[in-house]
Amino acid sequence: MSSIINCVAYEKGVALPPFPLDDVSEIITRPGVFLWVGLLEPDETLLLKIQEEFGMHELVMEDARSPQQRTKLEAYGESLFLVAKTASITDDGVIFGETHLFVGKNFLITLRHGTSRGYSEVRQRCEKNPQRLALGSGYALYAILDSIADSYLLVLGELRNQFQQLEEEMFDNALPREKLQRIYQLKRELIQLRDATQPLIDICNELRRFHEDIIPKTMRVYLRDVQDHCHRVIEACDNIREMLIAAMQINLALVSIGQNDIVKKLAGWGAILALPTVVFSMYGMNFKFMPELDWHWGYFGVLGCTFAVGSVLFFKFRRSGWL
């Protein structure tokens, strides 16, 4: 079945020889053995086989068939069902996927939907430390949750770099439309990343306080480390969002100041040009009886007065910073 990425049994932290899926129900009963199964968007036949071999509750399988689940932790008898959001960065932005985890005393099943990245590297790191892997499914569950939290930090680092680039452009001039769209996308991705991270804290807290049959006391400190990573992501998301809002407000203020400067210049030149406009338009009405029409120096007097008053206005506006 191509939907099975990995199916490995471990005894005292050491991988056993490969075996067919039909032998799961027999191997899982061996003392000191736990199974780690990785699935990628399995078909209905495989899901029914998993349900049969591991004795899954029908409600769990119903959720497993449906992607786009909310992040959650549910207990079904002696097993747990978890849903966690995954995040990865691409050239088009942040892509979110989904991982379903079925956890029992002696088994762990990961079911990936969408663009959720694989956990082969996590499995390899665990196999290099057989003493911890001997702790069973609880340690394997921690390793996956820790990998998910680390991916949040990687995505957060890229979003922070993008914000710093946008921040520099915000203080230069008015932002073009495409930059405004990228700022909106960045804010949306920060919110989505925060929404994916927050429930993981509650899940780790519940795993630490309850479910001692699956999560031994020695594992609680590891889950606290996952919580610390999630808290760092949430705090950073909130800080970047606040800085983004502040930078936008500053950019709007700079744009407003620039517009005010333009308005001042227009008003200053308008006041300077108002006097000659009034005088010349009045003398251009061709009335027969008007003052200074018969005066020898009338034309030069009007030009001189107009120029003098305009010059005074120009230097006053210049001194006040309007021109």
- Residue type present at position 175: L
At 206, list the tokens.
């519940």
Q: Which residues pair with 90 in a beta bridge?
A: 93
From CA 200, how far away is CA 223, in angstroms rounded? 10
Q: Which residues pair with 15 in a beta bridge?
A: 10
Q: Which residues pair with 79 in a beta bridge?
A: 76
Measured CA distances, 38 to 41, 42, 103, 220 (Å): 10, 10, 12, 24
Q: What residues make up the domain containing 298?
A: 254-319
If you ran DSSP here, which 8-state letter would residue 66 be given?
-
From CA 114, how far away is CA 37, in angstroms rounded? 18
Quick one: which of 268, 271, 276, 275 has its CA closest to 317? Answer: 268
Same domain for 210 and 130, yes or no, is yes
Q: Long-range contact list for 250-257, CB < 8 A, 24+ apart?
A: 250/170, 250/171, 251/170, 251/171, 251/174, 251/175, 254/171, 254/173, 255/173, 255/174
**Confidence (pLDDT) at 1:** 45
Same domain for 306 and 244, yes or no, is no
99 and 111 in contact (C-beta within 8 Å)?
yes
If you ran DSSP here, which 8-state letter would residue 176 be given?
P
Is the CA virtual torsion 314, 317, 318, 322 positive or negative? negative
Q: Where is the domain boundary, 204, 238, 253?
A: 253
Any idea what the Cα angle at residue 7 is, between residues 4 and 13, rounded to 5°? 155
**Confidence (pLDDT) at 172:** 65
From CA 113, how far away is CA 107, in angstroms rounded? 20
Q: Where is the domain boundary, 226, 253, 280?
A: 253
Same domain for 142 and 167, yes or no, is yes
Same domain for 142 and 41, yes or no, is yes
From CA 243, how far away is CA 105, in angstroms rounded? 45
Same domain for 228 and 271, yes or no, is no
At 307, list the tokens.
């120029």
Any idea what the Cα angle at residue 90 is, between residues 87 and 94, rounded to 5°? 40
**Confidence (pLDDT) at 2:** 52
Q: What is the CATH number of the domain that holds 277?
A: 1.20.58.340
36 and 19 in contact (C-beta within 8 Å)?
no
CA Rg, the chain, in Å?
36
Return per-residue pLDDT of the chain as tens, 323 residues: 457 778 899 988 899 888 888 788 888 888 888 899 998 888 888 888 888 888 888 888 888 887 788 889 998 888 899 999 999 988 888 999 899 999 988 899 999 887 767 888 999 999 999 988 888 899 999 999 999 999 999 999 999 998 888 877 776 666 677 777 888 889 999 999 999 999 999 999 999 888 888 888 888 888 999 999 999 999 999 999 888 888 777 777 777 767 777 777 777 777 777 777 777 776 666 666 666 666 666 667 777 777 787 777 777 777 777 76
Same domain for 174 and 29, yes or no, is yes
At 82, list the tokens.
């978890």
Same domain for 60 and 80, yes or no, is yes
* Region class of 102: left (phi > 0), else alpha (psi between -120 and 50), else beta: beta
Strands 72-76 and 79-90: antiparallel
Q: What is the CATH number of the domain that holds 147?
A: 3.30.460.20
Same domain for 247 and 311, yes or no, is no
Q: Where is the domain boundary, 197, 220, 253?
A: 253
Same domain for 152 and 282, yes or no, is no
